[in-house]
Amino acid sequence: MTEVTDRISRRQVDKFAERRAQLATSALRTLSELGYARTSLREIAQNSEFSHGVLHYYFRDKVELITACVKQYKAECVTRYDQIVVTAKTAEGLRKDFAEALATTCREDASMHRLWYDLRNQALFEESFRKDVLEIDQTLEQMIWRVVTTYADLAGRPLAVTPGTAYGLLDGLFTQALLRHLSGVPGATEDLAAAAHQTLPKLLDA
């Protein structure tokens, strides 16, 4: 009996979680297009295949929906550059691949990334976002740290910076490139690749 009900309730939970994810994906699309400030629940629902009422069946309130979106986005980000790390054979190869991957991300995932920065900024004002944002930020920092440590290993030189510093520096380059790219400044992503390529060895000791 318990087995059956367990199986049932688990199936229900799965379906529930599945629809939550589906709605979150839909919301992410709308959010990345309009930004946090201008996105309403009705707008999210309208861009999905459901009515606006259903959002409150799957999410307690707006904050819980947005938080779910952020968490879902996290999963997408976390492994973005791991392939590069794994396949890297030389320091120079890693440096080149990483710099170009950054530029490609900036070019092709600009909308999702401006949303990430938007939500990270909301955390500066609204305490309710802070926990999740800090968690994602730390995951990104670790992702960068994997790249940087691998680069140092391949180069056979010790690292000269902390994980936080390495992440802050590279994230700053990305932020700037994103603003310029979305503003239509020509060569913004190429400049990002060049700057990242130039910065990576500076994170190492002489």
Provide the binding-site residues for its own copies, judged by CB under 8 A.
34-38, 114, 117-118, 120-126, 130, 133-134, 137, 160-162, 164-165, 167-179, 182-183, 191, 195, 198-199, 202, 206
d(CA 148, CA 164): 12
Region binding DNA by CB under 7 A among candidate stretches 39-47, 117-125, 171-179, 181-189: 39-47
Query: Residue 42's binding partner, choosing from its own copies, DNA, none, with beta-carbon cut-off 5 to 8 A by kind?
Result: DNA
Smallest gap from residue 85 Cβ to its own copies (A): 21
Phi/psi for 204 (5° steps) reads -100, 155
Does 17 bind DNA (CB under 7 A)? Our answer is no
Query: Residue 16's binding partner, choosing from DNA, its own copies, none, with beta-carbon cut-off 5 to 8 A by kind?
Result: DNA
Task: Give 53 or 184: the residue with its C-beta nearer to its own copies.
Answer: 184
Does 52 bind DNA (CB under 7 A)? Our answer is yes
Query: Residue 10's binding partner, choosing from its own copies, DNA, none, with beta-carbon cut-off 5 to 8 A by kind?
Result: none
Q: Look up residue 172 and give its amino acid.
A: G
Task: Give 56 or 131: the residue with its C-beta nearer to DNA.
Answer: 56
Does 131 bind DNA (CB under 7 A)? Our answer is no
Closest listed residue to residue 37, CA positions, set 118, 103, 147: 118
In whole angstroms, how far apart are CA 80 and each of 84, 98, 143, 157?
9, 11, 8, 25
Count of beta carbons in the 10 Å neighbourhood of residue 125: 9
d(CA 73, CA 154): 31
d(CA 113, CA 65): 18
